[in-house]
Amino acid sequence: MATRKIWNDTEVKVTATCIRVPPMRAHAESVNLQFENPLDENTARELLKKAPGVYIIDDRSSNTFPTLSLTKTMLRLVGSGEMCLKMEISGKLDIFVCGDQIGAALNAVQIAEMLL
């Protein structure tokens, strides 16, 4: 609902779950993205690696994923990881992201600058 308001687009299909916990300045979201054209996990990972302000934390071999304690001091970065491609629904990608709330405010300013 909030994404539709912010983007002024009633057709956008983004489902996000935000979980609030006690850390001072951190937040996390479980985001479900559905694409018109199929997108595999490796392509999504490469696109995210190139995105400014995104830091991939996803080392399955060492069980390292984004956590509030890891990312709460990453002021200008959004940690993302735990990507899961849902094969039963073509083009659906689930991703877990963590970030610092000050960094989130900075990101809002950066988006506004891009739009001006």
CATH number at residue 14: 3.30.360.10
Question: Which residues form the domain of 87?
Answer: 2-115
Residue 114 has pLDDT above 70, yes or no: yes
Amino acid of residue 17: T
Please give the tally of structural domains in the chain: 1
Total residue length of the chain: 116
How far apart (Å, rounded) are the C-alpha atoms in residues 30 and 9?
21
Query: pLDDT per residue over 78-111, tens digit each?
Result: 555 445 545 445 667 777 777 666 666 777 788 8
Residue 68 has pLDDT above 70, yes or no: no
Amino acid of residue 44: A
Strand order, beta sheet including 26-34 = 14-19, 26-34, 92-100, 78-86, 54-56
The pTM of this model reads 0.53
